[in-house]
Amino acid sequence: MANLIAFDLDGVLLDGKGSWMELHKFMGTEKFSEENGRQYYSGKIPFDEWVRRDIDLWKGFDANKISEAGKRVEVMKGIEVIKNLSKNYKMAIISGGIKQMANKIFEKCVFDHCYANEIIVKDEKIFDVDMKVNFENKGEILEEIAGYENVGLSDCIAIGDFINDIPMFKKAGFSIAFNPKHNSVVENADVVIRNKDLREILRYL
């Protein structure tokens, strides 16, 4: 039996387009962010530059807009299973999403670890970002958490939906593609769940 479960945030624990895009929608900067995304996916800018450009769109905005936007983000159907899972497993969130959005889940459910990208606030205004999770390092973070908990990687389960979750899938002993957004996610997962209901993961634990 696995001892550690690592969850992606956006599209797994939270429903919708993702914490970054939900905040962009709230701020009115969605179209600018989409262009930044196109620049990244076409190979014109690295991931950290994409994040930097997104944060620059929000600099000077009132920080309370982050929590206001967070209230509009829906948790995934079946989220109540997390509370029961935490009785038998170490639980982690590993996400390239916004940590303040992850905290909505972190506070509602019982998680032992939460790695995400935190928006830095200065004088109650959005100022910068502390980027801990990029497009490539989720596997390294899983390995770090497993080492801290003294859990072998073969005893870890990784649950994600997008291509940046693949490094985590490759490290974990078992991986679940939850409502996957890309064929390569399916190809790298042990099982696939296409129903947006977290209760579906229980059959594989």
Positions annotated as catalytic residues are 8, 10
Measured distance CA(77)–CA(169) in Å, rounded: 23
DSSP state of 179: S
Measured distance CA(27)–CA(182) in Å, rounded: 27
Measured distance CA(198)–CA(205) in Å, rounded: 12
Give the type of residue at 116. Answer: A
Find the distance separating the first CA and the last CA of the chain, reported in whole Å: 7
Measured distance CA(181)–CA(78) in Å, rounded: 19
DSSP state of 5: E
Q: What is the layout of strands, in order, in the sheet containing 125-130?
A: 125-130, 113-122, 90-98, 4-7, 156-160, 174-178, 191-193
- Alpha-carbon distance values, 74 to 17, 46, 160, 199 (Å): 10, 30, 17, 16
